[in-house]
Amino acid sequence: MSSPEIEEVRQRMIAAPGQSFELSSRDSGDRELFPDKKHARKQLQVDAGAIDELQDLLYACRQRALLVVLQGMDTSGKSGVIRNVFAQTSPLGMKVKAFKAPSKEELAHDYLWRVHEAVPPKGIIGIFDRSHYEDVLVVKVRDFAPAEMVEQRYDQINQFEKLLSENGVTILKFMLHIGHEKQGERLKERVTEPHKRWKFNPGDLEDRKLWPDFMDAYETMVNRCSTPWAPWYVIPSDSRTRRNAAIARIVRGTLEDMNLDWPQLELRAEDYDFS
């Protein structure tokens, strides 16, 4: 059994820019590309190793940055992706930012202010664990901002991401797509399994009650913000292993597509005194 080609994974999971997207057309339990779990796990190991090597190259070249945006409902596995896909990558080459509810200082600025600050510099892989998309997700569902302001944000975000992409930042956006039933199981695990209890937050159950509203907001987000310069990938996430394997494939492919090469430095030993 062979792993799916990277292009195959991309084609299946991308929300093609300019095309209408329906979340209901995507199966959060999709196994077609990775029917065998064990094989997916093996492929993930191989890809995580390749990502590590490509990160070294990215750092040596300092020409580009990679920004990985992770969005998904609670338990969809944002931290699991960070832990597993980048398990072999040196923390020196990574900049991870988890976005929480904004501080008073942050609220006194536009919502992209703290986001721009966190963008990775050239040479670095940045990970956003949640992101500016919260400003069109929870903010929209819970009416934390007027509807007209939220409406303006899709275009503001597209323009912001365009700026980044035109200035050396490659953007990969992953929606971790988990089913309603699966989330219920995982939240319950957080209560029943003692070593998972630290993760339990009763507030997550409040969001769960608004599930259809959140799904609407996710669908609109993907529809409005999957652009040629920063497309959304919708990753079936009911299976942790397949989710990680799919993301690793796409991250690896994206780094390979940068066609980076070790900087050619003209150094001659005879020019230096090593005595």
| Residues in contact with its own copies by the rule CB under 8 A | 62, 105, 108-113, 116-117, 119, 121-123, 149, 152, 156, 159-160, 162-164, 166-169
Q: Which is nearer to its own copies, 107 or 205 (CB)?
A: 107
Which DSSP string do the residues of 84-109 spell out, in sequence order? HHTTTS-GGGEEEEE--SPPHHHHTS
Instruction: Report, in Å, the least distance between residue 166 CB and its own copies.
Output: 5
Work out whether strand 125-129 and strand 65-72 pair parallel, antiparallel, or are unpaired.
Answer: parallel
Report the alpha-carbon distance of residue 96 to residue 126 in Å, rounded. Answer: 6
Q: Which is nearer to its own copies, 149 or 210 (CB)?
A: 149
Q: Which is nearer to its own copies, 31 or 162 (CB)?
A: 162
Report the alpha-carbon distance of residue 210 to residue 171 in Å, rounded. Answer: 29
State the DSSP code for 36.
-
Instruction: Report, in Å, the least distance between residue 159 CB and its own copies.
Output: 4
Instruction: Report, in Å, the least distance between residue 64 CB and its own copies.
Output: 11
Name which of 58, 118, 61, 60 is nearest 86 in CA terms: 58
Instruction: Report, in Å, the least distance between residue 112 CB and its own copies.
Output: 6
- Cβ contacts of 5 within 8 Å, gap of 6 or more: none
Q: Which is nearer to its own copies, 160 or 232 (CB)?
A: 160
Q: Which is nearer to its own copies, 131 or 244 (CB)?
A: 131
Instruction: Report, in Å, the least distance between residue 117 CB and its own copies.
Output: 6
Burial (CB < 10 A; 0-12, 13-18, 19+), residue 7, is exposed
Instruction: Report, in Å, the least distance between residue 181 CB and its own copies.
Output: 39
**DSSP H or E stretch at residue 205:** helix 202-209
Q: Which residue has the tokens 């536009």?
A: 110
Q: Which is nearer to its own copies, 87 or 112 (CB)?
A: 112
Work out whether strand 14-15 and strand 232-236 pair parallel, antiparallel, or are unpaired.
Answer: antiparallel
